[in-house]
Amino acid sequence: MKRIGVFTSGGDAPGMNAAIRAVVRQAYALGVEVIGIRRGYAGMILGEMLPLGVRDVANILQRGGTILLTARSQEFMTEEGRAKAAEKLRAAGIEGLVAIGGDGTFRGAMRLLEEHRIPVVGVPGTIDNDLYGTDYTIGFDTAVNTALEAIDRIRDTAASHERVFFIEVMGRHAGFIALDVGLAGGAEVIALPEEPVDPQAVAETLLASQARGKTSSIVVVAEGAYPGGAAGLLEAIRAHMALEARVTVLGHIQRGGAPTAKDRVLASRLGAAAVEALTGGASGVMVGEVEGEVEITPLKEAVERRKDIRRDLLALSRVLAL
């Protein structure tokens, strides 16, 4: 394999640039050229490609977002669109792909492999941490720390005004961010998509906290945990108790900013591992880190097998919130 392509797709995640850098420099060390594909699958269809050398990825390790940009492509969802993408890749002499992204990115990569026999290796880049086959995804640690800093600040205001704050974090289908942020931030309640949320039970928890002398509380809500998110949950709880509360939606600030050291190391390791796997003949797989070791998981398993939250951490959070 003499030339490979690298692209980012779906939601951006801090550490993607570190992964791109690792892909380019590991490939260079192996004598393999790298072509950067801009704007994900949309740019692939349009042929938006540029050579990437070792100097082209200098000074990007610490930057958030992705220098290759990202976009969603409805055209790629069609067979015709994927055929155009494959044609552009072959015209550019690209023999294999490193796909950096989440489950949507990997599903698209699987289609390219199945329909056009283009080898591909995935690198898990998503703040949601919801991919099976890796303990952590690139961007997750940064997102947690960004949200935690905000919650620490909000707790000061909650204590000063003796109020309850409902803080909504990202996580439409997975509660990994909410769980880690809630535990690290000392939340009294953590609402997750993986667990049924009973407004009456939440109300009882908050009332019990008040009875123990607490004058303020933090409720962390994953956006997909309850219809309407944090605001919807608050309204439902008000049917069971009088509550002076405020809602804060952290939103997209969780995706931005410089990646943490942990995310930079993870991205560097997995980016390099992806190149080694691809040039070594692997395809249709994702590289991940499990218990400190690089592991390879079929893309189909990575996107289809359920990765559960740490139930022990959820139980611990309830004990520590007393």
Q: Binding site annotation covers 117? A: no
Residue 210 is labelled as binding a ligand: no
Report d(CA 234, CA 211) in Å as an integer: 20
Q: Annotation-wise, does 38 bind a ligand?
A: no
Q: Is 9 annotated as a binding residue?
A: no
Tell whether 22 is in a known binding site.
Answer: yes
Q: Is 128 annotated as a binding residue?
A: yes
283 labelled binding-site residue: no
Is 180 annotated in some ligand binding site? no
DSSP 141-191: HHHHHHHHHHHHHHHHHHHHHT-EEEEEES-SS--HHHHHHHHHTT-SEEE
Residue 283's alpha-carbon distances to 106, 118, 259, in angstroms, are 12, 9, 28
Residue 25, annotated ligand binder? yes
- 135 labelled catalytic: no
The answer to whether the annotation marks 212 as part of a ligand binding site is: yes
Residue type, position 317, single letter: S
Check whether 127 is labelled as a binding-site residue. Answer: yes
What sign does the dihedral 82-274-145-256 (CA atoms) show?
Answer: negative
State yes or no: 126 annotated in a binding site.
Answer: yes
Instruction: Using DSSP bridges, classify how beta strands 293-298 and 245-249 pair: parallel, antiparallel or unpaired.
Output: unpaired
170 in a known ligand binding site = yes
CB count in 10 Å sphere of residue 16: 31
Task: Please state, in angstroms and rounded to a whole number, the distance separating the CA atoms of residues 177 and 129.
Answer: 8
CA dihedral of 129, 251, 258, 294, whole degrees rounded to 10:
0
Residue among 128, 141, 180, 263 flagged as catalytic: 128
| CB of 154 closer than 8 Å to CB of 269 | no
Nearest Cα residue to 44 out of 96, 2, 7: 7
On whether 24 is known to bind a ligand per the annotation, the reply is yes
319 by Cβ neighbours in 10 Å (0-12 / 13-18 / 19+) ranks as exposed
> How does strand 164-169 pair with strand 245-249?
parallel
187 labelled as ligand-binding? yes
Is 304 among the annotated ligand-binding positions? no
The alpha carbons of the chain give a radius of gyration, in whole angstroms, of: 21
172 is in an annotated binding site: yes
Question: Does 186 show up as a binding residue in the annotation?
Answer: yes
> How far, in Å, CA of 286 to CA of 29, rounded?
21
The C-alpha atoms of residue 141 and residue 91 are separated, in whole angstroms, by: 38
Query: Which residues are part of the catalytic machinery?
Result: 128
Residues comprising the binding site for Mg(2+)?
103
Binding-site residues for ATP: 11, 72-73, 102-105
Binding-site residue numbers are 11, 21-25, 72-73, 102-105, 126-128, 155, 163, 170-172, 186-188, 212, 214-216, 223, 246, 252-255
Which residues make up each annotated binding site for substrate? 126-128, 163, 170-172, 223, 246, 252-255
Query: Which residue numbers belong to the known binding site for ADP?
Result: 21-25, 155, 186-188, 212, 214-216
